[in-house]
Amino acid sequence: MIATKKLPVLFVFVLLLTSCQKKIIGFFEPDNTPLAPDYSQKQYWAALPSKQDSADVVLAPILRDVQQEADVDVFFLHPTTYTSKKKSQRNWNAPVNDDKLNQKTDGSTIKYQASIFNGVGRVFAPRYRQIHIRVFNEFDTERKTDAEKATLLAYHDIKAAFEYYLKHYNNGRPIIIASHSQGTVMAKLLMKDYFDGKPLQEQLVAAYLVGIIVPEGFFQYILPCETSNQTGCFTSWRTFQKDFEPKRYVSDTIIVTNPLSWTTDNIFVPASYNKGAIINDKQIIYNELVDAQIKSELGILWITRPKQPKQLRFFPSKNFHIGDYNLFYMNVRENARERSENFMVQQKNTQSGGK
């Protein structure tokens, strides 16, 4: 049985959600949910330092996987991959033993997003009973309560995975929280429960809460990052084409970080600051692919659409949600390392009494 506590407002934006999509089958039934994962077994982790997985992939020759020698851990929460239109696969929550779904997750988000962080830390990415993409439609309907219950079921797995990680793997190591889309819905809850004003906040290098909005004041003690090397803070952005204004969840009280400057101001940052996008497995870093500018009144990040359409065919609209990380792959990778190095220096200074 899952908890019935009230979820905080979920400011959700998911790629390609439309009102014409079919509904989830039936109502949420707590006694008819997929079996919970057992995180003592490696199969329930999409990424784990002790096994070969897609987070170990090096997507360009100049990059290196440093997980085995890293001092930092990265807890990565993947976005929605449970998107099937088949009736048999349109339940509220995904089974974690679905091999086809797991392959999809591993070959997409783990390979192209989680791999960003293998240049700074050991990557842990749990499988979880994620909600179906269509569940996000139900938060504005009479089935809102069911949608919240399904979300809490997914979050139950995230908590179980994180607690297992803390008990068996962490050993007091610094932690980066990284997430995208549905993963960020979960990461926001996780940070509230385990980091915000809690002792574990002292181990937080930074959080990359990408693809879902983080309202101003969402955390009581964890602040938005304002510089590139600040630690114990969070970053967040959602990417759209310049001059496009999304109709949903527009607000000037949304925290937005520019991943080219790592500030929260509205200053335009040219593409020359973009250290490289990685959008496929061709072992190519696309340098200076996009610029970036925060539109604080909209709560989003604007980019100029790149003039390389063949490389960007998987961006079918002005919503670049799917590329939130990949358009800034090298910037995020280097920034995670910069914050981690600064964190380690600060920690060393603290242990030595600041001498």
| Each residue's pLDDT tens digit, 1-56 | 334 344 333 323 333 333 335 666 676 777 788 999 999 999 999 999 999 999 99
- Note the pLDDT of residue 18: 33
Question: pLDDT for 176-189, tens place per residue?
Answer: 999 999 999 999 99
Quick check: is 142 in a domain? Answer: yes
DSSP state, 167? I
- Note the pLDDT of residue 16: 35
Please tell me the distance from the alpha carbon of residue 93 to that of residue 91, in angstroms, as a whole number.
Answer: 6
- Note the pLDDT of residue 308: 65
Number of independent structural domains in the chain: 1
> Which of 222, 183, 187, 184 has the alpha carbon at shortest distance from 202?
222
- Note the pLDDT of residue 306: 84
- Note the pLDDT of residue 32: 80
Quick check: is 149 in a domain? Answer: yes
Q: How far is CA 222 from CA 8, 47, 176, 196, 265, in A?
A: 17, 27, 13, 6, 19
CA dihedral 191, 194, 198, 200 (to 10 degrees): -100
Strand order in the sheet with 239-241: 239-241, 300-303, 293-295
Quick check: is 25 in a domain? Answer: no
Q: To which H or E segment does residue 112 belong?
A: helix 111-112
- Note the pLDDT of residue 19: 34
Helix (H, G, I), strand (E, B) or coil at 352: coil
First-residue to last-residue Cα distance in the chain: 52
Quick check: is 7 in a domain? Answer: no
Please tell me the distance from the alpha carbon of residue 58 to that of residue 119, in angstroms, as a whole number.
Answer: 9
- Note the pLDDT of residue 5: 44
Quick check: is 4 in a domain? Answer: no
Residue type, 281: D
What the block records as the tokens of 290 is 């996009």
- Note the pLDDT of residue 28: 73
- Note the pLDDT of residue 20: 37
Quick check: is 21 in a domain? Answer: no
DSSP state, 245? -
- Note the pLDDT of residue 314: 57
What domain range includes position 99? 42-351
Quick check: is 26 in a domain? Answer: no
Residues in the chain with pLDDT values less than 70: 1-25, 27, 86-90, 248-252, 308-316, 354-355
Quick check: is 23 in a domain? Answer: no
pTM here is 0.92
What b/e sequence results for 165-204 when a residue is b if at least 16 CB atoms lie within 10 Å of its CB, and e otherwise?
A: bbeeebeeebbbbbbbbbbbbbbbbbbbebbbeeebbebb
